Amino acid sequence: MLRLRAFKAIDDLESCQKFLKGHGDILSSIGVNKVTSSTETWMENPGTYVLVVENTDTGEVMGGARVDTSYGNQKLPIAAATGYMDPKIHDFIDRESEHGTGEICGLWNSRKVAGLGFGSLFLTRAAVAITTQIRVKSLFALCAPYTVATAENFGYETLKEVGNEGTFYYPKLDLLATAMLLPDTDLLQSASDLELDRVGSLRQKPNQIFTEQSKRKEVEVQYQLEINS
């Protein structure tokens, strides 16, 4: 069985190290040596929360994502990634920080779970679900082209006021990323009915076993999204 577990970064450094190595290996495999969300400093940030996809038998980390929040001691990764190209992103972050904001970042999955939905769908679903626990009222994301549609299913909107109608060449010149914002993590006003149902279920019962439907097949997922810290 695969487990999708949430925790505060500073509470589980061993799992953070596994996350960091797996993320780094995936980036290297596509020719990206460094992105703003892949530095080690987030492991010491009290405002960072981590999601990991684990093999329940071996403990192997096969995917993950983070939610970095404005309550931490570091800037959101999207600020460092795009701020030098368009400083207006800082204004949006400052505005959202008044009510508590965050960013889904560092999202990755290994080839062992490729096509099972963990690459963006299930991890984004879990990240949105935990926002009520961590007091985050909005969420930024810097999305690759193949994850934009998934983000829109949760109510994300493109920040067309920054970059080139919301897009930037990042993390290198032949890769495109779209700056997006989920404006209300509580209401999820523009989310699909499916995501409203699944996120609502995970918020009501953060620890559950559920058979999710991926594009390839059904996947039994053990969710452990209750954050003890």
Considering the domain boundaries, does residue 88 fall inside one?
yes
CB atoms within 10 A of CB 74: 18
Under DSSP, the state recorded for 144 is -
Considering the domain boundaries, does residue 159 fall inside one?
yes
pLDDT at residue 53 above 70? yes
Confidence (pLDDT) at 38? 53
Mean pLDDT value across residues 94-121? 88
Confidence (pLDDT) at 31? 63
Global pTM? 0.92
Dist. CA 191–CA 152, nearest whole Å: 7
**Helices (DSSP H) in the chain: which residue ranges?**
13-29, 77-82, 88-97, 121-129, 131-134, 148-153, 193-204
pLDDT at residue 119 above 80? no
Considering the domain boundaries, does residue 124 fall inside one?
yes
Considering the domain boundaries, does residue 229 fall inside one?
no
Domain that holds residue 146: 2-224
Confidence (pLDDT) at 174? 82
Higher pLDDT, 39 or 222: 222
- Using DSSP, state whether 78 is helix, strand or coil: helix
Higher pLDDT, 19 or 120: 19
Strand boundaries in the chain, DSSP class E: 2-8, 48-55, 61-69, 101-109, 138-143, 157-158, 167-169, 176-182, 207-213, 218-224
The per-residue pLDDT for range 137-178, each reduced to its tens digit, is 999 999 999 899 999 999 999 999 999 999 999 988 888 999
Considering the domain boundaries, does residue 185 fall inside one?
yes
Characterize the bridge pairing of strands 2-8 and 218-224. Answer: parallel
Average pLDDT, the chain: 91
- Using DSSP, state whether 222 is helix, strand or coil: strand
Dist. CA 191–CA 67, nearest whole Å: 19
Considering the domain boundaries, does residue 146 fall inside one?
yes
Confidence grade of residue 98 (pLDDT, cut at 50, 70, 90): very high
The answer to whether 43 touches 80, Cβ cutoff 8 Å, is no
Considering the domain boundaries, does residue 95 fall inside one?
yes
Number of domains in the chain: 1
Confidence grade of residue 30 (pLDDT, cut at 50, 70, 90): low
pLDDT at residue 37 above 60? no
Confidence (pLDDT) at 100? 97
Find residue 8's DSSP bridge partners: 49
CATH number for the domain spanning 153: value is 3.40.630.30
For CA atoms 87, 167, 65, 96, the dihedral sign is positive
The per-residue pLDDT for range 172-227, each reduced to its tens digit, is 888 899 999 999 999 999 999 999 999 999 999 999 999 998 777 888 999 999 99
